A and B are shown apart, each in its own frame.
Chain A
Amino acid sequence: MKKVNKIKIRLNGKYIRIQEKITLFNLIKILKLPIKKVAIELNQKIVNKKSLVKIKIKKNDKIEIVHFIGGG
């Protein structure tokens, strides 16, 4: 079996290791997040949700995924 290479990224402030060459869209699916209810930032830049499928995650990328919660 082919060995899966992993890369280190920072997701919502925490370092995690994920499979290399996956897209942001793949990541959202793996995390089982409702795409319509979140917004994504890659290295401090907001990502248009339409382009999630095109963006491959690279080593040391900083990703933020946010949603709405109760607040004043």
Chain B
Amino acid sequence: MTKLDNLLIAKKKFKSRLIVGTGKYKNMSECAKAVKLSGAEIVTVAVRRVNITDKKKPLLMDYIDPKKITYLPNTAGCFTSEEALRTLRLAREIGGWKLVKLEVLGDKKTLFPDMLETLKSTEVLSKEGFKVMVYCNDDPLFAKRLENVGACAIMPLAAPIGSGLGIQNKTNIKIIRSQTNLPLIIDAGLGQASDATVAMELGCDGVLVNTAIAKAKDPLKMAIAMKHAVLSGRQSYLSGRIAKSIYGSASSPIKGKI
């Protein structure tokens, strides 16, 4: 029996280290099933206008119970600090959410974050009492600055959002890992289960996956795969890998060989 290995974010414990996004699914039912199969306890959600004309449209809260699964309001699609702050303040008003994910984008094509706006927003939100998990570039200096202004989790991208490229700069992720004790969660750009394992093996505390599950040919199977990939990567990281060598080292003893 291994001792409990919880993910701790803003003093809250989570058993699962996989956070999943709830966008891009075929329908709400598929999304809810994928969340369940992934074992995730945190899901990201977006804040949008209520459809006044079609009120029969299903509500996310009817499919994923916010009492059982932690909703992480996200500022996806915001390109300025003002927009992001407005979105999260509204999210808080919906139901008292203080744990939020900040994402301020800077470029429509790459969806790279605007780090100046992100830094500014992190500081304001932290002062307002929000617990801010921050989507950022894989830039150790900015990651440090985010920490200094009160971020509660650092969420560097693996690659552009929705790109499925996997971790592009392992070195930077390792550097960020070595300099912070905050939860480090890879956000964006993962494409398959092994990408999540790699992230965990680098020492990340968790991963956030949306497109890789939602847009897989079989999202439910991928949800299961991601769950195991994260567990696998975490165990692999904790177990301490062997040193690399350019030479071979036989697995069977020489002694007693006929």
To the question of whether A and B form a pair in one complex, the answer is: yes
Enumerate chain A interface residues (CB-CB to B < 8 A): 11-14, 31-34, 36-41, 44, 46-49, 64-72
Chain B at the A interface: SS class = mixed
B68 to chain A, nearest CB (A): 15
Q: How many A-B residue pairs have CB under 8 A?
A: 99
A67-B48, A72-B161 known; A39+B24 contact, CB < 8 A: no
Q: How many residues of B contact A (CB 8 A)?
A: 35
Instruction: Give chain A residues whose Cβ lies under 8 Å from the Cβ of B206.
Output: none
Instruction: Give chain B residues whose Cβ lies under 8 Å from the Cβ of A13.
Output: 49
A37-B94, A39-B91, A39-B94 known; A69+B60 contact, CB < 8 A: yes
Q: Could you tell me the distance between the alpha carbons of A12 and B162 in the complex, rounded to whole angstroms? A: 28
Contact check, A31 vs B52: say whether CB atoms are below 8 A apart.
yes
Supply 16 A–B pairs (Cβ within 8 Å), ascending by A.
A11-B52, A13-B49, A31-B55, A36-B95, A37-B95, A38-B50, A40-B93, A46-B89, A67-B47, A67-B60, A68-B73, A70-B45, A71-B21, A71-B48, A72-B74, A72-B162
Contact check, A37 vs B45: say whether CB atoms are below 8 A apart.
no
The reply on B61 being an interface residue by CB < 8 A is yes
18 new A-B contacts at CB < 8 Å, known A70-B22, A72-B46: A31-B50, A37-B95, A40-B93, A46-B93, A48-B93, A49-B93, A66-B48, A66-B49, A68-B73, A68-B94, A69-B48, A70-B31, A71-B21, A71-B23, A71-B44, A71-B46, A72-B74, A72-B161
The reply on B118 being an interface residue by CB < 8 A is no
- Selected from B55, B59, B93, B161, the residue in CB contact (under 8 A) with A39 is B93
Which of B37-94 touch A at CB < 8 Å? 44-50, 52, 55, 59-61, 71, 73-74, 76, 86, 89-91, 93-94
Contact check, B47 vs A70: say whether CB atoms are below 8 A apart.
no
Name the residue on B nearest A34 (C-beta): B59
Q: Could you tell me the distance between the alpha carbons of A4 and B119 in the complex, rounded to whole angstroms? A: 51
The reply on B202 being an interface residue by CB < 8 A is no
- Selected from B60, B90, B211, the residue in CB contact (under 8 A) with A66 is B90
Name the residue on A nearest B20 (C-beta): A72
A28 to chain B, nearest CB (A): 10
- Selected from A49, A67, A72, the residue in CB contact (under 8 A) with B50 is A67
- Selected from B31, B44, B94, the residue in CB contact (under 8 A) with A67 is B94
The reply on B112 being an interface residue by CB < 8 A is no
Contact check, B60 vs A68: say whether CB atoms are below 8 A apart.
yes
Name the residue on A nearest B48 (C-beta): A69
The reply on B237 being an interface residue by CB < 8 A is no
- Selected from B45, B76, B94, B211, the residue in CB contact (under 8 A) with A38 is B94
Q: Could you tell me the distance between the alpha carbons of A10 and B77 in the complex, rounded to whole angstroms? A: 23
Interface centre among A34, A36, A41, A69 (most CB of B within 10 A): A69
Contact check, B23 vs A66: say whether CB atoms are below 8 A apart.
no
Instruction: Give chain B residues whose Cβ lies under 8 Å from the Cβ of A66.
Output: 47-50, 90, 94
Instruction: Give chain A residues whose Cβ lies under 8 Å from the Cβ of B23.
Output: 70-72
Contact check, B48 vs A39: say whether CB atoms are below 8 A apart.
no
Q: Could you tell me the distance between the alpha carbons of A72 and B22 in the complex, rounded to whole angstroms? A: 6
Contact check, A72 vs B211: say whether CB atoms are below 8 A apart.
yes
